[in-house]
């Protein structure tokens, strides 16, 4: 503001007293008027609706497009802003919103622009270096040619100098003596000696300063003369060097073209990669399930699991909805897995259950120990935070009520694959790509299961062959085929188990002998009873003492006086002989809810109060329609005519990825996750069927830590032609 009003009143841009501003009464008056103007502008901004100004700078990219970067925002068009580029907005709030809305995007664009500049700078440096080498070779060639010509033009002079030097060396004179004789000859004015500039007897050479006898204007040139060679031989040596410099120059020019071509290709790849990454970041919005370990099952269900103890707890507390299935394994560090059901009336298919179980096993201690185990699943309403009588649930722990449905042992085999985000026009080409089990054709409610079971029982009486087939089918999925309505809990004795999946779940287990455990349980039970009895006795004593004090204080008070005092205090209850009116309750119209088998399951009395952590109030509600739309925009089999926005890495059980175009197998090993993902991406990019857009999106994933975030720590990658070049 001050700078603005000073500029308005004629002060220079960088005003300094005694330098470009005089100190006198006129200057002081001018400053006073400027401040008064600033005060009026400030008051106008406060009282009236002000416009918004965004100043920005514009920089050009390599492709000719301009990148705008906002610098500052103002509620007024200041004088100094007129010298800058700026955008106007109807209000200051709109300008501020625009500034911060595009701040992150502009930072990415600026970073990409800086990388482009650096790549172009490296390319220019390569060009300059190659040009400098060629110029140096050209200059060396010219110098060699001049030296050879000067030797030819001064042949007689050089021969005399060679004769003198050879004579002194032949006389076995000392080098210092020879040098002394040369200096004496120079002082006496000998023409041959004066042309010698320097003696290099250790290399059997001397330097002569030769000119052009036919053109005295040409500058003198210092030429090394080899004492072992005559004048023509010395000249020939320089012409040979000139020819070698010419050949080297030609090779350098060829190498220059190749080096510049490689530098241009590298710069282009760098620029294209940074632009792709920038475009992906600008258009890519992270899905809600990406913060967990996740995959899309073969039947198109989203399956999520926690990466660590905190996320395991969050998955259960906030993302386990009615109708969902909870999958876990009794292994150290096993992940808590939740299968998101798309329709609460349908059961999760067996294949999805097995895939989720495999995920729970792989993200546990079984991966490092290479031990095959099995997992189990329960319904959402079997997971609770309420402990039974006499039990205590520590923080981060949950209780599983009822029967656990164990699944077959799972192999320690995962896969790393790529999903691609489709644009709106490409989604139609991939409709029905994954099996849709939410339409009721494959999934059957529990009632239909019961009817099918009855039909099967009737057919079993016809022969022993059907009975054998039935037994074989039951052996394949012994737990999955159990009817849901048989999972009801006993009325007298309840089956339950406690899971510690919070931050304290990773502590080592303490082994306690059975007799010690029995002693501790009895001791705790006695202590609990004693504590409860003491509390009841103390409460009774306090109540008795309180009643005694009240009776003593109001001993002289009759009933009429008590009524009057209660009216004064405003705490009088219902008046006598007045009929009690029922409070009118607002009528809320409720939509009829379709009753399902799950709704008719017997509830635990202890579940009816408020299970901390798994109540509906804490669950993050995500629109099922939105979730389904997200799945439809992701494909593992992109087509040539598809428009792909970005690539999304996914780690899932390998059998889930059979239809994916890009996939590798992951098994327990010793490799690091980052190197494994890099090898997989390089393999994908070498695939002959990879389209240019797909390769570009894969390149954007190289170096991205989020690509390897869900890969287990120690891993081995397996795929055909993995290490081929």
Percentage above 70 pLDDT, the chain: 72
d(C-alpha 615, C-alpha 633), whole Å: 31
Least confident range of 85-99, 460-474, 687-701? 460-474
* Band (597; pLDDT cuts 50, 70, 90): very low
Instruction: Please state, in angstroms and rounded to a whole number, the distance separating the CA atoms of residues 194 and 182.
Output: 9
pLDDT for residue 414 = 94
502 has a pLDDT exceeding 90: no
Give the tens place of pLDDT for each residue, 149-198. Answer: 888 888 888 888 888 888 888 887 788 888 888 888 888 888 888 888 88
| pLDDT recorded at residue 9 | 62
Contact 616, 258 (CB under 8 A): no
Between 395 and 325, name the one with better pLDDT: 325
For the cut 80, the answer to whether the pLDDT of residue 669 exceeds it is yes
The residue to which tokens 């509390």 are assigned: 535
Classify each residue of 447-469 as buried b or exposed e, where b means 16 or more C-beta atoms within 10 Å of its C-beta.
eebeeeeeeeeeeeeeeeeeeee
Q: Is 669 helix (H, G, I), strand (E, B) or coil?
A: strand
Left if phi > 0, otherwise alpha if psi is -120 to 50, otherwise beta: which for 504? alpha
Q: Is the pTM of this model over 0.85?
A: no
- DSSP strand pairing (663-672 vs 714-718): antiparallel
Q: Are 673 and 711 in contact (CB under 8 A)?
A: yes
Residues 6+ apart with CB under 8 A from 363: 293, 305, 307, 333, 334, 335, 712
Which is higher by pLDDT, 571 or 367? 367
The per-residue pLDDT for 436 is 46
Per-residue pLDDT tens over the stretch 46-100: 677 778 888 888 877 766 777 778 887 877 777 666 777 888 888 888 888 888 8
Give the pair of three-digit tokens for residue 442: 């494959």
Structure token digits, residue 270:
């760098």
The separation between CA 128 and the C-alpha centre of its own chain, rounded to angstroms, equals 38
Higher pLDDT, 234 or 514: 234
Residue ranges of domains in the chain = 2-105, 117-251
Per-residue model confidence as pLDDT tens digits over 541-576: 888 888 888 777 777 777 777 777 777 665 444 444
pLDDT given at position 18:
57
CA dist., res. 63 & res. 186, Å (int) = 67
Whether pLDDT at 618 is above 60: no
Q: Give the pLDDT score at 578.
A: 43
Do 497 and 404 form a contact (C-beta atoms < 8 A)?
A: yes
What pLDDT band is residue 23 in, cutting at 50, 70 and 90?
low
Tokens representing 610 are 């408020």
Is residue 225 exposed (0-12), middle (13-18) or buried (19+ Cβ within 10 Å)? buried
What mean pLDDT is reported for the chain? 75
Least confident of 20-29, 131-140, 396-405: 20-29
pLDDT band at 581 (very low <50, low <70, confident <90, very high): very low
CA 644 to CA 66: how far, in whole Å? Answer: 25
**Tokens 């009429």 correspond to what residue?**
560
Radius of gyration for the chain, computed over Cα atoms and rounded to the nearest angstrom: 45
What percentage of the chain reaches a pLDDT higher than 90? 11
Query: What does the angle CA 473 – CA 478 – CA 484 come to, to the nearest 5 degrees?
Result: 110
Please state, in angstroms and as integers, the Cα–Cα distance from residue 293 to each residue in 23, 326, 497, 656, following that order: 72, 15, 25, 15
Angstrom distances, CA of residue 283 to CA of 115, 422, 647: 20, 12, 12
State how far the Cα of 519 lies from the Cα of 99, in Å rounded to an integer.
68
Task: Report pLDDT for 62.
Answer: 67
pLDDT score at 604: 38
The order of strands in the sheet holding 397-401 is: 383-384, 397-401, 496-500
* Total residues found in the chain within this entry: 725
- Position 488 pLDDT exceeds 70: no
Question: What tokens does 137 get?
Answer: 């070779």
Pairing of strands 414-422, 293-296: unpaired
Q: Is pLDDT of 593 > 60?
A: no
**Contact present, 393 and 619 (Cβ < 8 Å):** no
Q: Which of the pair, 421 or 482, is modelled with greater confidence? A: 421
3-state SS class at 590 = coil
Q: How far apart are CA 251 and CA 269, in angstroms?
A: 27
Q: Which helix (H) or strand (E) holds 500?
A: strand 496-500
Confidence of residue 498 (pLDDT cuts 50, 70, 90): low
Is residue 410 over pLDDT 80?
yes
**357 pLDDT band (50/70/90 cuts)?**
very high
Q: Where are the alpha helices (DSSP H) in 418-513?
A: 446-460, 464-476
Residue 361's pLDDT band (cuts 50, 70, 90):
very high
- CA distances in angstroms from 394 to 386, 498, 500, 506, 607, listed in the order given: 11, 10, 8, 14, 17
Q: pLDDT digit string (tens) for 504-530?
A: 444 444 455 666 666 666 666 777 777
Query: Between 475 and 331, whose confidence is greater?
Result: 331
Strands 337-339 and 302-305, by their bridges, are antiparallel
Residue 637: strand, helix, or coil: coil
What does the pLDDT read at residue 608? 38
Whether the CB-CB separation of 624 and 511 falls below 8 Å is answered with no
Closest by alpha carbon to 481, among 353, 599, 338, 299? 353
Separation between Cα atoms, residue 457 and residue 466, nearest integer Å: 10
Question: Beta 221-226 vs 302-305: how paired, if at all?
Answer: unpaired
Which comes out higher in pLDDT, residue 36 or 133? 133
Band (359; pLDDT cuts 50, 70, 90): very high
Q: What Cα–Cα distance (Å) separates residue 460 from each residue in 210, 450, 484?
A: 118, 15, 22
pLDDT at 325: 93
């Amino acid at each position: 503001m001050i700078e603005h009003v000073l500029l308005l009143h004629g002060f220079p841009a960088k005003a300094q007293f005694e330098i470009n501003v005089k100190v006198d009464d006129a200057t002081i008056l001018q400053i006073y008027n400027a401040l008064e103007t600033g005060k009026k502008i400030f008051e106008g901004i406060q009282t009236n609706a002000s416009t918004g100004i965004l100043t920005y700078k514009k920089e050009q990219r390599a492709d000719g497009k301009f990148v705008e970067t906002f610098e500052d925002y103002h509620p007024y068009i200041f004088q100094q802003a007129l010298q800058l580029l700026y955008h106007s907005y109807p209000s200051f709030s709109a300008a501020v919103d625009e500034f911060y809305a595009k701040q992150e995007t502009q930072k990415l664009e600026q970073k990409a622009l800086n990388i482009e500049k650096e790549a172009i700078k490296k390319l220019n440096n390569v060009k300059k270096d190659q040009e400098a080498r060629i110029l140096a070779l050209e200059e060396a060639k010219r110098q060699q040619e001049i030296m050879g010509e000067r030797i030819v033009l001064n042949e007689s002079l050089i021969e005399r100098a060679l004769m003198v030097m050879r004579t002194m060396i032949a006389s076995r004179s000392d080098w210092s003596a020879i040098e002394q004789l040369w200096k004496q000859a120079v002082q006496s004015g000998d023409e041959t000696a004066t042309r010698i500039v320097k003696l290099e007897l250790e290399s059997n050479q001397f330097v002569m300063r030769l000119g052009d006898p036919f053109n005295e204007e040409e500058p003198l040139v210092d030429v090394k003369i080899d004492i072992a060679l005559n004048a023509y031989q010395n000249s020939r040596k320089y012409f040979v060097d000139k020819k070698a410099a010419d050949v080297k120059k030609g090779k350098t020019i060829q190498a220059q073209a190749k080096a510049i071509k490689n530098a241009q290709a590298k710069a282009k790849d760098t620029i294209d990669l940074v632009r792709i990454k920038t475009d992906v970041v600008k258009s890519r919005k992270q899905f809600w399930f990406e913060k967990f370990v996740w995959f899309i099952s073969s039947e198109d269900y989203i399956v999520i699991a926690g990466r660590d103890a905190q996320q395991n707890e969050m998955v259960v507390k906030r993302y386990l909805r009615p109708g969902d299935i909870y999958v876990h394994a009794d292994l150290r560090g096993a992940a808590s897995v939740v299968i998101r059901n798309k329709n609460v009336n349908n059961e999760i298919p067996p294949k999805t259950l097995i895939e989720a179980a495999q995920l729970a096993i792989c993200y546990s201690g079984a991966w490092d120990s290479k031990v095959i185990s099995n997992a189990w699943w329960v319904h959402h309403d079997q997971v609770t935070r309420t402990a039974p009588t006499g039990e205590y649930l520590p923080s981060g722990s949950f209780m599983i009520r009822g029967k656990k449905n164990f699944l077959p042992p799972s192999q320690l085999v995962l896969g790393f694959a790529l999903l691609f985000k489709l644009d709106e026009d490409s989604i139609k080409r991939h409709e029905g790509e994954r099996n849709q089990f939410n339409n009721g054709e494959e999934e059957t409610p529990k009632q239909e299961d019961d009817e099918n079971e009855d039909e099967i029982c009737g057919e079993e009486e016809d022969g022993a062959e059907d009975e054998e087939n039935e037994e074989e089918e039951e052996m394949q999925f012994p737990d999955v085929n159990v009817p849901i309505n048989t999972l009801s809990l006993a009325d007298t004795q309840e089956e339950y188990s406690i899971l510690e999946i919070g931050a304290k779940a990773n502590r080592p287990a303490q082994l306690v002998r059975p007799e010690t455990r029995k002693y501790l349980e009895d001791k705790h039970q006695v202590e609990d009873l004693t504590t409860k009895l003491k509390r009841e006795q103390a409460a009774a004593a306090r109540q008795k003492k309180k009643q005694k004090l009240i009776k003593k204080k109001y001993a002289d008070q009759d009933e009429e006086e008590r009524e009057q005092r209660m009216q004064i205090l405003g705490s009088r209850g219902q008046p006598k002989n007045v009929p009690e009116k029922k409070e009118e309750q607002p009528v809320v119209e409720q939509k009829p809810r379709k009753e399902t088998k799950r709704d008719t399951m017997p509830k635990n009395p202890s579940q009816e109060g408020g299970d901390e952590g798994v109540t509906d109030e804490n669950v993050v509600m995500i629109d099922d329609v939105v979730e389904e739309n997200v799945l439809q925009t992701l494909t593992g089999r992109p087509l040539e005519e598809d428009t792909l926005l970005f690539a999304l890495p996914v780690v899932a059980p390998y059998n889930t990825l059979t239809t994916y175009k890009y996939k590798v197998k992951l098994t327990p090993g010793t490799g690091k996750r980052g190197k494994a993902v890099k090898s997989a991406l390089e393999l994908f990019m070498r695939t002959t069927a990879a389209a240019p857009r797909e390769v570009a999106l894969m390149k954007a994933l190289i170096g991205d830590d989020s690509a390897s975030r869900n890969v287990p720590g120690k891993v081995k990658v397996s795929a055909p032609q993995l290490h081929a070049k």
